[in-house]
């Protein structure tokens, strides 16, 4: 039977040998597989979200939609594909026709998306009081 100092030394030697073995593995063997190139979000979508404005659902690219919470690459692609196949979304509720978008996802996105607003998702200005009294 081994005494404590000898067993501690054996553990240290075993750990050192494991580190040497790991260091000898080529980096290509442990590197993560190459990811497909990711398209960058449009500056308009990034700017809108940064400024607290909404992104236009009918103009957004898949990369723009991925900026939104709960929207990953697959769901973003399904939304864009649905829009291409069925035409523009008439309302935010029309997002429910996309597989993977349910009531909870839609509720989370309501404050971040707009349908058909002019100028990159900006809401039209409110009418002035003078124009309303005419």
pLDDT number for residue 124:
42
Strand partners, 20: none
113 in a structural domain:
yes
* Range of the structural domain that residue 55 is part of: 43-121
85 found inside a domain: yes
The pLDDT score that the predictor gives to residue 131 is: 45
Beta strands, E only, 4-82: 55-56
Q: How far is CA 47 from the centre of its chain?
A: 16
Instruction: Give pLDDT tens digits for 48-63.
Output: 888 889 999 999 999 9
pLDDT, average across residues 15-40: 58
| Within a domain: 4 | no
Predicted pLDDT at 50: 85
Residue 1, in any domain of the structure: no
Contacts of residue 70, defined as CB under 8 A and 6 or more positions apart, other chains included, come to: 105, 108, 109
Instruction: Compute how many other C-beta atoms are within 10 angstroms of the C-beta atom of residue 114.
Output: 21
CATH number at residue 66: 1.10.150.320
pLDDT of residue 62: 95
As beta bridge partners, residue 56 has 114
8: left (phi over 0), alpha (psi -120 to 50) or beta: alpha
pLDDT at 116: 81
**Interval 17-23 mean pLDDT:** 62
In-domain check, residue 65: yes
Given this model, what pLDDT does residue 42 score? Answer: 86
Reported as a single tens digit per residue, the pLDDT across 77-129 is 999 999 999 999 999 999 999 999 999 999 999 999 999 843 344 444 444 44
Among 54, 52, 106, residue whose Cα is nearest residue 79:
106
Q: How many domains does the chain have?
A: 1
């Amino acid at each position: 039977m081994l005494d404590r100092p000898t067993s501690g030394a054996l553990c240290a030697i075993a750990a050192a040998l494991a580190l040497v073995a790991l260091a000898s593995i080529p980096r290509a063997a442990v590197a993560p597989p190459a990811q497909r190139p990711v398209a960058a979000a449009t500056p308009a979508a990034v700017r809108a979200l940064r400024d607290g404005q909404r992104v236009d659902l009918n103009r957004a690219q898949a990369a723009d939609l991925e900026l939104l919470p709960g929207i990953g690459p697959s769901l973003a692609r399904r939304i864009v594909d649905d829009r291409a196949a069925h035409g523009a979304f008439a309302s935010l509720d029309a997002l429910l026709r996309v597989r993977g978008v349910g009531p909870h996802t839609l509720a989370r996105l309501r404050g971040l998306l707009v349908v058909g607003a002019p100028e990159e998702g900006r809401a039209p200005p409110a009418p002035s009081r003078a124009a309303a009294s005419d």
